[in-house]
Chains A and B, each alone.
Chain A
């Protein structure tokens, strides 16, 4: 069986959970899946996302946070609290060239932030129960 390396590039916050799930998806098909968050602070991490990340790593994939393009607050949350692997843009460019498929995931980076009710699934869930 041919094994491929996939690199998912994620510029848009609302696609992060989806893209991380896709990264795990290729890993369970016996390929290597990597994801790179290019800009933003992750949405509040759910148990589901944490499990996806752990499974991806168990299957020799990883999820990166590009530290020279995110702000300090996002870096602190993504790397220190959630545990994404820090990477520079230069290192990412090399890893992307090593990948067989580079997938620019979802829509481009948004110039305006979404209202928190749209950007944060946990907020929506908590709003439903209030």
Chain B
């Protein structure tokens, strides 16, 4: 399965980030994963749309 992970917030550390990393890592197992960080400067939304169309499942993490 092709997974797309979108990250909305800059990581701040702590338990929240750790659990997100663990959970997303477990879900990545045996799957193809694409990632995009929306919090970085000037996100390329055309690229994001293409990635969404190319994915079987999209998860917009915090």
Contacts and interface: CB of A to CB of B under 8 A. Distances in A.
A93 interface: yes
B53 interface: no
Given A109-B15, A111-B12, A11 B62 contact: yes
B19 to A, nearest CB: 5
Nearest to A9: B23
A59 interface: no
Interface string B1-28: 1000000010011111101101100110
B14 A97 contact: no
B27 A104 contact: no
Contacts, number: 56
A89 B61 CA distance: 16
Interface residues of A, number: 20
B25 to A, nearest CB: 8
Contacts of A102: 57, 59
Given A39-B15, A111-B12, A104 B59 contact: yes
A108 B12 contact: yes
Given A97-B1, A104-B59, A104-B60, A11 B26 contact: no
Contacts of B16: 11, 38-39, 108-111
B46 to A, nearest CB: 23
Interface of B: 1, 9, 12-17, 19-20, 22-23, 26-27, 29, 31, 57, 59-62
Interface of A: 9, 11, 38-39, 66, 69, 89-90, 92-93, 96-97, 100, 102, 104, 107-111
